[in-house]
Amino acid sequence: MSPWLDVVLNDDLHLPVSRSIVTIPRFAPQETALEKIENLLEGIIDAISEGRELTIPFRTTRSPQAQQGDEPNCDLVRFPGRTIQEARRFEALFRIIELSHEALLSGNIITKRNIFYQNVDLFKSQGVVDDLVDNLAYTLGLGREDLNIVAAAKGLISGPVDLILRGGDVVHCNLPPGGILLPHIASVEKVDFHEAKWLLVVEKEATFKTLATSQYANNSFAGPGVIVTAKGFPDLATRRFLSVMHSARPHLRLYGLVDFDPHGIAIFRTYKSGSKRLAHEQDTTVPEMRWLGIRSSDVLSASRRDNLDISSGSDSQSSQDVSSQESVAYSHDGSQERHPSKRQKIRDSRDPVEFFLPLTDADRKKAVDLMNDIRSTDVVDGDNLEQLNELQRMLMLNVKAEIQAVDDFGNIASWLDERLCAL
Amino acid sequence: MSKQYLTVHTVDQAHPTEIFSLAPTPTSLFSASGSSSIRIHSTVEPTFPLQQELIGAHKLGCHHVTTARDGAGIVAASVGFSGEIKIWRRQGGNGAAWELWWEVAPTKTSGGDVWAVALSADENYLACTTSDGRIHVWDLNARERVQTYETGSSTGGGSFALSVDLSRDGKLTASGHESGAVYVFNNDAGRMAYSLSGLAKPVRAVAFSPGCKRLAAAGNAGVIAIYDMDHGEHVGNLTAPSSRPAWITSLDWNDTGEYLLSGSLDGKVKVWNVAQGVCVATHSETEDALWSVKWLPRSDRVLAPGMSKAEMFCAAGASRNLSFYREATGM
């Protein structure tokens, strides 16, 4: 897999201090990146001196955002070009090439957000910068980060691990109760995994915040672990972070927790096998990630659980005695110190139907698109078959459900304990 | 009075993925699943052998397959997850194989994805529902759409039509919707006859009685509502004693109209005596969801030595098995 994996393991074996610390190798510097960018610039300068039309080769990836009829198979961006739009496009692209060149020469890393805010008038929107950068990288046969351009951090991490940065700073991911922003993986020199046994990626920031605040990564029944979220659809930085974490610690178990809807399954598939649009980016997938949920069975059993609770408890339970329902939930083997001693045992008396929403037309279309994607992959393996089956069930039932469908009045910890221990 | 049903035979793993729909002919049973092929098992031999496989019928799997109740058994229709309808036909007697007759591409059904389908008893008409609440009726021989029933407001589409049925006399069409609504249309007049309320939750199955006097409807409410078709009145509910029963996915009347079969997501198949309003038999092999339950048309033939001509039914779902039951008689 990764060429430097062996080195890492060796390092790991010979580390005298702690085997929990793993060194993250620097990304192999793409010497060709600077060369390619300089070739582009030279071409433009030559054209100026010879009085020719200025051109930049430019191919677009299969981008869902690409507007129809907007030069679909554009191979060259010209200046002055035939239209004002093309001239503007050239200017924008040229600015990015220039910034990338500066960054490569100086060794600095710039964010796409910075590029945009320094040239708001030129780019008009962040999306324009994002597309241009990705397509430039694609055209040059490079990854986005080879251009020394990265996306601003979006992901969050929480758990008893430490990230040792190249400057020497140590980021304790355990400390802030709401989790911390993922540092860029290129800036991480070492990771101290301590006792972490698992890494859980959750789709929703809200779920992440709940888990981080309750210190779930420290007191899970499944042992200590790490929780990460990319706040929805994963960005490249989070995906690369996970890929590096996995390479550094192959036996760290990886799980994904997403909504029971087509979007959730698309997110899980992106972590696992990447996205079409950014298929040219390397080391950004974790095929080993396992699908923790939620599935149709979770949703349907949640409805049954609720049915039971309502039939057995609704008569006696009023809102006044809610506090008396709070009880010591986990007291066996004297582990109260490590595990939260109090978890509210109030049962949710919402109607189970509230957990489900009917699929929208867009959901149904997305589900069918995903099924087509899965069917057209070379190998329809067990994982793919399961996703296919869950998408079919979603369509049959015509329901979707958020992660919250399986929680217990906002507390998803007991459900997670059960799942993480079972796997 | 309770009745006894016995498992006659189980076709284990009849499909590689879960089975979503069943449709019987006088001599065979169609089954459709999440995989691309439709399978046809013989129901006139004691081992229910596989008779034919419609390979690659629906690339993304098939959610509905239907045959005409009381029909000659020479036409079937199926709907794939991509939204395409395929019409199958068998020509030239009992031994003949089923072949694709024609196909309705998803684009030709404008306005919402096609979902449930039903065939008229004469096998000349097909009713199909859409996700925006329409019910289209196709003339199979002319290969054209002859009727569209709208259930939405003038400003937009209606509620997802999850289920559909045609009465055996050809006069009525019924649809069950996500909103809980049940609509009955008069086919001669070409307009809505009744708008039936009472379930309030998604209606996953609607079925006319063989005499066309009653309509049964069920779904997430977990109860079966019975409506009178002469006046469009709600005449009763069939409910199990349990507090909140599971979602019902499938309903089917037996040939005499005395009994109603129901299948639900908790894996239970129930036989109801409609006149008495009671459940007379409950069976479940597993807790795996059932997607489809169907009576087999009454046959004059004795299936095997020692077996009676008693009525049989089949249940299928997430277990991927076809489970055949028959009434225990002479006990």
Evaluate if residue A347 carries a pLDDT over 80.
no
State residue A410's pLDDT score: 66
Confidence of residue B271 (pLDDT cuts 50, 70, 90): very high
Contacts of B17 in chain A (CB under 8 A): 385, 388-389, 392
ipTM value for the complex: 0.94
Q: Look at the alpha carbons of A108, A114, A116, A122 in this order and tell me if their dihedral is positive or negative.
A: negative
Q: Which residue from A361, A389, A392 is facing B131, i.e. has the nearest CB? A: A361
Does A396 sit within 8 Å of B60, measured CB to CB? no
Evaluate if residue A222 carries a pLDDT over 60.
yes
Going by their DSSP bridges, the two strands A327-328 and A290-293 should be labelled as: unpaired
Confidence of residue A343 (pLDDT cuts 50, 70, 90): very low
State residue B300's pLDDT score: 65
- What lies within 8 Å, CB to CB, of A302 at 6+ separation is A352, A355, A401, A405, A406
State residue B319's pLDDT score: 95
Mean pLDDT of A339-357: 48
Evaluate if residue B38 carries a pLDDT over 50.
yes
In this structure, are residues B160 and B174 in contact, taking their beta carbons and an 8 Å threshold? no
Mean pLDDT of B42-48: 91
Domain ranges for chain B, please list them: 5-327
State residue A40's pLDDT score: 87
- What lies within 8 Å, CB to CB, of A118 at 6+ separation is none
* A360-369, B189-198, B297-306: range with lowest mean pLDDT: B297-306
Domains in chain A and their CATH numbers?
A: 30-142 (1.10.10)
Evaluate if residue B207 carries a pLDDT over 60.
yes
Evaluate if residue A242 carries a pLDDT over 60.
yes
Suggest the residue from B35, B37, B81 to mutate for an interface test with chain A (most A CBs closer than 10 A).
B81
Mean pLDDT of B189-210: 93
Evaluate if residue B234 carries a pLDDT over 70.
yes
Look up residue A54 and give its amino acid: L
Half-sphere exposure of A174 (CA within 13 A, CB side): 13
Mean pLDDT of B34-50: 94
State residue A322's pLDDT score: 34
Fold of B5-327: Methylamine Dehydrogenase; Chain H (2.130.10)
Q: Which residues of A are catalytic?
A: 117
Higher pLDDT, A78 or A9: A78
Burial (0-12, 13-18, 19+ Cβ within 10 Å), B127: buried
Higher pLDDT, B58 or A412: B58
Contacts of B287 in chain A (CB under 8 A): none
Q: Name the phi and psi angles at A148, rounded to 5.
A: 60, 30
State residue A280's pLDDT score: 75
Contacts of B288 in chain A (CB under 8 A): none
State residue A303's pLDDT score: 57
Q: State the nearest Cα–Cα gap between B273 and chain A, in angstroms.
A: 26
In this structure, are residues B287 and B266 in contact, taking their beta carbons and an 8 Å threshold? yes
- Numbered residues of chain A with Cβ closer than 8 Å to any chain B Cβ: 300, 304, 307, 310-311, 353, 358, 361, 364, 368, 371-372, 375, 385, 388-389, 392-393, 395-396, 398
Taking Cα atoms as reference points, which of A18, A7, A11, A23 lies closest to residue A163?
Answer: A23
Mean pLDDT of B216-227: 95
Which tokens in the block code for residue B174? Answer: 């019924």
Contacts of B246 in chain A (CB under 8 A): 304
Mean pLDDT of A92-107: 87
- Numbered residues of chain B with Cβ closer than 8 Å to any chain A Cβ: 17-18, 20, 34, 59-61, 63, 81-83, 112-113, 131-132, 160, 162, 178, 201-202, 220, 243-244, 246, 265-266, 289, 291
Burial (0-12, 13-18, 19+ Cβ within 10 Å), A273: middle
The residue written with tokens 């779904």 in the block is B219
Q: How far is CA B304 from the centre of its chain?
A: 27
Evaluate if residue B101 carries a pLDDT over 50.
yes
Mean pLDDT of A337-366: 61
Going by their DSSP bridges, the two strands A198-202 and A225-229 should be labelled as: parallel
Does A361 sit within 8 Å of B112, measured CB to CB? yes
State residue B314's pLDDT score: 97
> How confident is the model over A175-192, as pLDDT tens digits?
878 889 998 887 889 999
C-alpha A273/C-alpha A269 separation (Å) is 6
